[in-house]
Amino acid sequence: MRVVREKMQAKISELPYNLPSDLYDYLAQNVVTQCNHMPNLHTTPRTPHEIVTGSKFNFLTDLLCPFGIPILVVGGDVTKHQNQPTLKVYA
């Protein structure tokens, strides 16, 4: 738990804005997921994710964007503002 808290604090300090408190749960989930995609002392050379699921993690295709990066989404809700760009933060 201490490691997750430290990594969350490091990520919060990297962000160029104040992270809203309602996104902290998503940040914690992202930190745990990222930890599971990295080999550690007990699982080297495999990752915990690979041991549990049997599938390898591809950093080029599976890691699309870091947590907290604003992403411009074109489209969104087709019933309102069709084809209008929408700025959303995805966790």
Query: In the chain, what are the domain boundaries?
Result: 2-64
Confidence of residue 4 (pLDDT cuts 50, 70, 90): very high
Residue 70, strand partner residues: 89
Residue 73, strand partner residues: 86
Segment 49-56 mean pLDDT? 90
Confidence of residue 83 (pLDDT cuts 50, 70, 90): low
* Mean per-residue pLDDT of the chain: 82
- The reported pTM is 0.70
Q: Give the helix ranges, DSSP H, for the chain.
A: 2-14, 24-36, 48-53
**Could you identify the residue written with the tokens 């604090």?**
9
Segment 27-51 mean pLDDT? 90
Could you tell me what percentage of the chain is helix, strand and coil, using 3-state DSSP and rounding each to the nearest 5? 40, 10, 50
Residue whose C-alpha is closest to residue 69's, from 52, 53, 87: 87
